[in-house]
């Protein structure tokens, strides 16, 4: 964790200091993407003030492989970032396969973009997955990464599913009723 300290000379009145930091984000010993943090810090002082900000922890991105196939990954089509872009199966290593998530209840976020894996407004069997701006608590983005490596839509009995079991690039993944031992629903890191 890095820390930035600024010495602000005596100020006669209240002001706001705008602070912008751009730094590379490192995950798994490689630079993933730069992150810019801008904040306004209100300053009211009768003498010199020292402002200290801590860095925001950045979670590592991970790749999700269908049923342990290390050559294929859950990807965002062409790496595009906008509401509604399909989430597919594709070759790993193209830079469009980094996801942030945790075991247990989680969102599945596409890198540090603020866009998440989304099951749409009417999730069900055969509904294609897409990327959508992340919204806290949105049911279509609330997933549960299980101990047996399934990614289930929380409280809905639906799992992230490899459509027709196909590993073809551009095969849009879907939700399907969670079924034990269904290899189309196994996702390994």
Residue 59 has what pLDDT? 67
| Residue 183, CB-side half-sphere exposure with 13 Å CA sphere | 7
Residues of the chain with CATH 2.80.10.50: 65-188
List pLDDT tens digits, range 73-86.
Answer: 999 999 999 999 99
Global pTM value = 0.69
Rounded CA separation 141/137 (Å):
8
- Of residues 142 and 26, more confidently modeled: 142
CATH level 2 (architecture), domain 65-188: Trefoil (2.80)
**If you average pLDDT over every residue of the chain, what do you get?**
78
Does 115 have pLDDT greater than 90? Answer: yes
The answer to whether 103 touches 145, Cβ cutoff 8 Å, is: yes
Does 170 have pLDDT greater than 50? Answer: yes
> Residue 58: pLDDT band by 50, 70, 90 thresholds?
low
The answer to whether 96 touches 72, Cβ cutoff 8 Å, is: no
Average pLDDT over residues 46-72: 68
- Of residues 69 and 19, more confidently modeled: 69
Residue 105 has what pLDDT? 83
The β-bridge relationship of strands 115-118 and 171-172 is unpaired
From 54-58, 69-73, 145-149, 150-154, the region with the lowest mean pLDDT: 54-58
Residue 60 has what pLDDT? 81
Phi-psi region of 24 (alpha: psi -120 to 50; beta: other; left: phi over 0): beta
């Amino acid at each position: 964790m890095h820390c930035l300290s600024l010495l602000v000379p005596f100020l006669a009145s209240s002001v706001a200091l705008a602070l912008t930091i751009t730094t590379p984000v490192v995950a798994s010993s490689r630079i993933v993407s730069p992150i810019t943090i801008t904040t306004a810090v209100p300053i009211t002082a009768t003498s010199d003030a020292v402002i200290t900000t801590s860095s925001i922890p950045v979670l590592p991105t991970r790749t999700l492989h269908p049923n342990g196939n290390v050559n294929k990954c859950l990807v965002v089509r062409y790496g595009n970032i906008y509401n509604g872009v399909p989430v597919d199966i594709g070759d790993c290593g193209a830079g469009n396969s980094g996801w942030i998530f945790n075991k247990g209840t989680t969102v599945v976020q596409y890198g540090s973009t603020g866009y998440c894996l989304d099951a749409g407004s009417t999730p069900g069997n055969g509904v294609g997955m897409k990327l959508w701006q992340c919204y806290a608590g949105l049911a279509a983005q609330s997933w549960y990464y299980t101990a047996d490596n399934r990614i289930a839509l929380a409280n809905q009995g639906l799992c992230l599913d490899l459509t027709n079991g196909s590993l073809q690039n551009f095969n849009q993944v879907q939700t399907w009723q969670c079924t034990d031992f269904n290899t189309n629903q196994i996702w390994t890191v």
